[in-house]
Amino acid sequence: MTTVLICDDRRSVREGLTRVMSAVAGVQRIDCVAHGDELLARYARQSVDVVLVGTQRAVPTGVEATRRLVAAHPQANVIVFGAPDDAGSIAAAIAGGARGYLRWDASRPELVAALAHTLASTSVPTPRVPTDPGVQLTERELQVLRGMSQGKSNGQIGRELYLSEDTVKTHARRLFRKLGVRDRAQAVAHGFRRGLVS
């Protein structure tokens, strides 16, 4: 049986995620906290199997809560959740020690897979797994991925690399296909896990 702790400063998000998690087989207990201080205090009193931490664009609280919890409790299994196009927050949280991430609109099977893989001490999978784990990105694709990991738009990446925005989008589509991901956030998270970006 799995115990889950949810941390997000929005009550509606906490309640919504609690409803979804309650329907996942094997989840025994779900607790919620609103802030990083509460998260640290609650985890110190009673550790849980999985911690879900919400992230928001340009709001550092979720990322900071993740960093503080993992620094104090390296064994904590943290999954961040947020908007699929918020690559900056997701990348920062993974760099801070999160095991993986989920999109806001993750399906129940994706939630179940994330919990199972986290408890099995493996990386949280992206919804689609590349068929060839040894696939190599070109130097240009790596440059685009690094730009994404810094939260830059396609236009910003293009200006830095002297490429048109359409060309950047083409490289992005190719690297998404190679990595078996669907969007920027998944690509950045996958890049951090594989050591492609840092």
2-120 topology per CATH: Rossmann fold (3.40.50)
Q: Three-state SS for 14?
A: helix
What per-residue confidence (pLDDT) applies to 72?
92
Residue ranges in the chain modelled with pLDDT below 50: 121-132
Decide if 102 contacts 110 (C-beta within 8 A): yes
Domains of the chain, residue spans: 2-120, 139-194
What per-residue confidence (pLDDT) applies to 104?
75
Predicted structure pTM score: 0.61
Cα separations (Å) of 57 from 17, 82, 130, 197?
Answer: 19, 8, 28, 20
What per-residue confidence (pLDDT) applies to 18?
87
What per-residue confidence (pLDDT) applies to 120?
62
Candidates 3.40.1190.20, 1.10.10.10, 3.40.1710.10, 3.40.50.1980; correct CATH number of 139-194?
A: 1.10.10.10
Answer whether 2-120 and 139-194 agree in fold.
no
What per-residue confidence (pLDDT) applies to 129?
37
Classify burial at 97, counting beta carbons within 10 Å of its beta carbon; exposed 0-12, middle 13-18, buried 19 or more: middle
